[in-house]
Amino acid sequence: MTRASIILADFAETDASGKVHMLGAGWSITGPNTGPQAVAGFIQVPAAQSGSLIQFVLRLTDRSGEVVEAPGPAGMQRMEVTGQVEMRAPEGWDGATDLNAAFAMNVVVPLPQGQPYTWSLEVDGKDLASTTFYVRSNAPGSAEIVSSQKLPADDVELDDRS
């Protein structure tokens, strides 16, 4: 059975051996201003699919399921990438394990605040992996003060156990 997974990171790259190196991996909340982000994708296929071409589509959708469009050099561009990978058996491989393919894509996508977005990975026409993240509308650690009262100093008790 073919399986897939997605990990979000601040930066990721794939080396010549097929390993993905990530920095700031595993987040699900960002913003309020979205900076660079990376999507690392992993596809595992059974040994029987050695030598076959695997089609994939990686896309970013908004809460309504529409593919996000972002400004690019040629105007607005859909945040959707299609591709294929050939699953080749490594030299000396005995077929006892699944074959793995990995990729990394780094993007800068300005996204409206206060909304969730989903990266999804479709493999051979089947949605196999997705991860949702949220773009917050205020800075991390900030809070809105709803009301403020001054407390009289007499109401404060200190426990001095030193």
The class that CATH gives domain 3-140 is: mainly beta
pLDDT in tens, 19-28: 999 999 999 9
More confident residue, 130 or 92: 130
Residues in contact with 22: Cβ distance below 8 Å, sequence separation at least 6, in sequence order:
7, 9, 11, 12, 38, 40, 104
pLDDT in tens, 66-75: 999 998 888 9
Per-residue pLDDT band at 83 (split at 50, 70, 90):
very high
Q: What mean pLDDT do residues 78-90 have?
A: 91
**Single pTM value for the model:** 0.81
DSSP assignment letter at 79: S
Mean pLDDT, the chain, whole residue set: 87
Instruction: Please answer whether residues 21 and 34 qualify as being in contact, where contact means their C-beta atoms are separated by less than 8 angstroms.
Output: no
Closest CA to 8 of 43, 42, 41, 39: 39
Domain borders along the chain are 3-140
Angle at 4 between CA 127 and CA 88, to 5 degrees: 115
In this structure, the number of other CB atoms found within 10 A of the CB of residue 81 comes to: 15
- Say yes or no to pLDDT of 58 above 70: yes
